[in-house]
Amino acid sequence: MESDYGLLAEGLETVSKIAEKYGLIPSYHPHLGTIVEAPDQLDKLLSLTEINLCPDTAHIEAGGGDAIQVIKKYADRIKYVHLKDYKEGEFLPLGEGKQNYHEMIEILKGAGYEGWITIELDSYHNPKKGAQISKNYLKDHFGLI
């Protein structure tokens, strides 16, 4: 229902105040299976609240969005990031889908982002292998690890 966005925004504002009281940085993470999956749903919610955004790049793509465009649009509200790859309905280790992490990182750097970036994988047939693939991607493409 349309009114659910207002209720969610109200709840997020309440949670934000509580989190900030304890020195935490509240952020909203759009996710499949919620009322905020698609880009227009995210825009609707974020227009109703001041909460920060934690983009999950694969969930944004799975919801029909473009993670690069979301990061560009909301760069000033991003305080935490989840990188995850996606292709053909499946969450994948980094480099196994079609996400452009170099562009995402450049946008974040340009916006002065200095926060955490978490590498995630919701599910994978071999979790250890998935973690190794992502680790190798970070090493090969960013010189990390």
**What is the number of H-type helices and E-type strands within the chain?**
6, 6
The CATH superfamily holding the domain 3-142 is Divalent-metal-dependent TIM barrel enzymes (3.20.20.150)
pLDDT of residue 15: 97
Distance (Å, rounded) from C-alpha 67 to C-alpha 56? 8
Structure tokens at 54: 């934690």
The whole model's pTM is what? 0.92
Give domain limits for the chain.
3-142
* Digitized pLDDT (tens) for each residue of the chain, 145 residues in all: 889 999 999 999 999 999 999 999 999 999 999 999 999 999 999 999 999 999 999 999 999 999 999 999 999 999 999 999 999 999 999 999 999 999 999 999 999 999 999 999 988 999 999 999 999 999 999 988 6
Question: Bridge partners of 53?
Answer: 28, 78
